[in-house]
Amino acid sequence: MDVELFPRGRVEVVPGAVHLPDWLGPGQQRELLRACREWARPPAGLRTVRTPGGGTMTARQVCLGWHWYPYAYARTVVDGDGAPVKPFPAWLGDLGRRAVTDTLGAEAATAAAYDIALINFYDADARMGLHRDADERADAPVVSLSLGDTCVFRFGNPDTRTRPWTDVELRSGDLFVFGGPSRLAHHGVPRVHAGTAPPELGLTGRLNITLRVSGLQEPGAGGR
Ligand SMILES: O=C(O)CCC(=O)C(=O)O
């Protein structure tokens, strides 16, 4: 039997940033994984993101609602197959608002009309450098759901890419929400612990589903 020495509970890492372990049960994780597998299919499926400097991100990505590319949003996969981005389903928006209610409270969830999902797939060698989610035009909290392998999620501060930061272990089913004074905090994934996914989930690697409110109206809008 797998029993924690210290049970994991809700932690407010810094004001506005909350980690809620085991928020998704095994059945919900399986449902979300099934949806991710559908979304990953072409057209507008899982792709390698190229950065303006000529590099590539090691986490591969698929988007819903608005297509993110460095560093703006579009309605089509402008840096890939050119297909229209897949729609953002209403049920995912409901899930996002529930996540905010359960972490930051009902008031924080009222204006949270989620319309973007970024789904990141990490194999054992994938990472994500410290960055800010700053291409949106809305200040609603960012909702982050984890499936599969455990990772180290580094949560820093809005001002610099350096310390202070907190390293949080995100496991399959965990929820992390950041809003308010933490909405523009730097964050990233320095490490994935390969082979730690719950075997019954049937996923090799890690999936992260990040929900955001765009605040965008026009195709091609946004960007830094
Ligand atoms: O994979 C994660 O937990 C973080 C993803 C992320 O930072 C992003 O999509 O901007």
Predicted confidence (pLDDT) per residue in 29-53, tens digit: 999 999 999 999 999 999 999 999 9
Tokens of 102: 């359960």
The band of 171, judged by pLDDT with boundaries at 50, 70 and 90, is very high
The band of 218, judged by pLDDT with boundaries at 50, 70 and 90, is low
DSSP letter at 64 equals E
Q: Tell me the C-alpha distance between 154 and 116, whole Å.
A: 22
Q: Tell me the C-alpha distance between 14 and 201, whole Å.
A: 31
For 163, counting Cβ atoms within 10 Å of its Cβ (0-12 exposed, 13-18 middle, 19+ buried), the class is exposed
The band of 5, judged by pLDDT with boundaries at 50, 70 and 90, is confident
The band of 2, judged by pLDDT with boundaries at 50, 70 and 90, is low
Residue 186 in this model has a pLDDT that exceeds 70: yes
CA of 130 to the centre of ligand 1 (A): 9
Q: Tell me the C-alpha distance between 117 and 89, whole Å.
A: 10
CA of 1 to the centre of ligand 1 (A): 31
Nearest atom in ligand 1 to 206's CA: 1
Ligand 1 within 6 A of 208 CB? yes
Residue 83 in this model has a pLDDT that exceeds 80: yes
Q: Give the torsion through C-alpha atoms of 152, 155, 159, 163, to 10 deg.
A: -60
Average pLDDT over residues 150-154: 98
Q: What is the pTM of this model?
A: 0.96
| Res 4: pLDDT | 85
CA of 43 to the centre of ligand 1 (A): 23
CA of 207 to the centre of ligand 1 (A): 10
Ligand 1 within 6 A of 133 CB? yes
Residue 153 in this model has a pLDDT that exceeds 80: yes
Nearest CA to ligand 1 atom 2: 208
| Res 6: pLDDT | 87
CA of 4 to the centre of ligand 1 (A): 26
Nearest CA to ligand 1 atom 4: 188
The 10 Å CB-count burial string (b at 16+, else e) for 80-106 is: beeeebbebeeebbebbbebbbbbbee
The band of 111, judged by pLDDT with boundaries at 50, 70 and 90, is confident
Ligand 1 within 6 A of 212 CB? no
Nearest atom in ligand 1 to 151's CA: 3
Ligand 1 within 6 A of 61 CB? no
